[in-house]
Structure 1
Amino acid sequence: MSLPPHKPQGFTLVELLLVLAIAGIMAAIAYPTMSDWLAYRRVSAKSEQLINLLRLARAESVRLNLPVYVCPVDIANNGKSNNYCSTSNTEGYAAFADRNGDQKFEEGKDLPLRTAILNTAGQSNIEFSLRNTNTTALAFRPDGSFYRATSSNGIITTTRADSKIKITLTDKNGGDAKARRAVVLLLDNSGRVTSCARDKVRSTSGECAYATSTSTKP
């Protein structure tokens, strides 16, 4: 009784090369989209930190019956906030309750609340700015009022917010893809913060559009 002829198992070299070529083409097509998605998720995570900081500042001002300021800070390698309201190289924002009402942060006298770490000295991937305004700091008052502010040598000067404040965050290395990787936040004149829908951020018009506004970086 004769045995059936042996059939080779597995793939031929030509078939393997064809599969690898197809996989390479698909990866090349998917890479820009995947890069945009990963960068957007990183920016979105940082924006959530900032949203939580701003909402906390607004609520704590009422609860503590004290003015609460949000201003730029440096971030040390251990995550500690330094140079409140007087940094020349903003890496994050910190909120503090001004116990003595002197409109500046004093260690041991004022109450630190929370810090949103956007960058550190060793890792700087996020570009962020306040746009359409000369604002570099924000102020929340116990009566619920909201003020835009500037800081110089640690001293905060406030002006009643009479229009929306726009904050943008994006991938610092995004190049032409910055609009696709951006998150835009809006603060209304009562200090409430909202995050714009992604399609409106990518638009070329409207208050949420990333590309239409000039930047004033803190």
Structure 2
Amino acid sequence: MPRHRSHGFTWTELLAVMAVTGVLASVALPALGEALARHRLRATADALMDALARTRATAVRRNHPTVLCASRDGRACSPSSDWTRGWIGWDDDQRTVFESMEPLDDALSAARRPGRQAFTFGPDGTCPASNQTITLCVHGRPATAVSIVVALSGRARRKTATPEDAAACARPLSRKR
């Protein structure tokens, strides 16, 4: 009489596979979290660069000054300059918001150098006063810091953060919501 072979797995084999999968997942999850935080950092830096470019282009197109500033509520500029709460593009002549960004992910921090609290672009696209730098980083990880610098010409560029800017970003402002 022929013997029937089972085509399934034994309970022991299933438990062994589950244990190995659990160990591998516990090793991979922290790395995945770090990768997601770095992706959010890149996306936020891109969004800030785009907002600066749109604010500058709007000033040139409308032929009057526009402002990009930190905002707590997405409707008005915030005097606190906490860029982690989001930002808006504001047209003072038309009293309208044409650009808005939600608060940053909790894993991210932002810091700016002392000086101007907002970026005001003139009708010719310039951003008078002095260069301004905003630094973004993954919270508590200064090695991830990237700085966005707006020159007097109004052009924004991305660069690796200086050690001072990275350290300032690593100790973020408190977020009171």
- TM-score tier, shorter chain, comes to 0.7 to 0.9
Instruction: Tell me which residue corresponds to 2:99.
Output: 114
Instruction: Tell me which residue corresponds to 1:204.
Output: none
Q: 1:78-97 residue pairs with structure 2 within 5 A?
A: 80-82=74-76, 84-87=77-80, 91-97=85-91
Residue 88 of structure 1, CA deviation: 7.2
SS at match of 2:35: helix
- Percent sequence identity over aligned pairs: 28
Partner of residue 129 from structure 1, selected from 108, 111, 114: 111
Residue 6 of structure 1, CA deviation: 2.0
Q: 1:1-218 residue pairs with structure 2 within 5 A?
A: 3-75=1-73, 80-82=74-76, 84-87=77-80, 91-99=85-93, 110-119=95-104, 124-131=106-113, 133-147=114-128, 160-161=129-130, 163=131, 165-171=132-138, 174-175=139-140, 177=141, 179-180=143-144, 182-196=145-159, 208-209=160-161, 211-213=163-165, 214-215=167-168
Larger CA deviation: 44-53 vs 32-41: 44-53
TM-score (norm 1): 0.64
Residue 98 of structure 1, CA deviation: 2.9
Q: Deviations over 1:88-122 (max 9, x none)?
A: 765122122232xxxxxxxxx53332122224xxx
Take 2:61 and 2:82, find their aligned partners in 1: how far apart are those partners?
Answer: 32
SS at match of 2:72: strand
Q: Which amino acid is the alignment partner of residue 70 of structure 2? A: P
Residue 54 of structure 1, CA deviation: 0.7
SS at match of 2:71: strand
SS at match of 1:39: helix
Take 2:89 and 2:49, find their aligned partners in 1: how far apart are those partners?
Answer: 12
TM-score (norm 2): 0.76
Take 1:25 and 1:117, find their aligned partners in 2: how far apart are those partners?
Answer: 37
SS at match of 1:81: coil
Choose between structure 1 and 2: higher helix proportion.
2
For residues 140 and 89 of structure 1, do their structure 2 counterparts lie closer, same or farther at Cα, with a shift above 3 Å needed?
closer
List, as ranges, runs of 4+ consecutive aligned residues in structure 1 with deviation greater than 6 Å.
none
Take 2:147 and 2:48, find their aligned partners in 1: how far apart are those partners?
Answer: 11
Task: Give structure 2 stretches of 5+ with no counterpart.
Answer: none
Q: Deviations over 1:50-90 (max 9, x none)?
A: 22211111111111111112222112xxxx424x2435765
Residue 4 of structure 1, CA deviation: 1.9
Task: Give structure 1 stretches of 5+ with no counterpart.
Answer: 100-108, 148-159, 197-207
Residue 34 of structure 1, CA deviation: 0.5
Residue 37 of structure 1, CA deviation: 1.5
Is the Cα–Cα contact under 8 Å of residues 37 and 107 in structure 2 kept in the other structure? no
Is the Cα–Cα contact under 8 Å of residues 49 and 117 in structure 1 kept in the other structure? no
Take 1:139 and 1:95, find their aligned partners in 2: how far apart are those partners?
Answer: 10
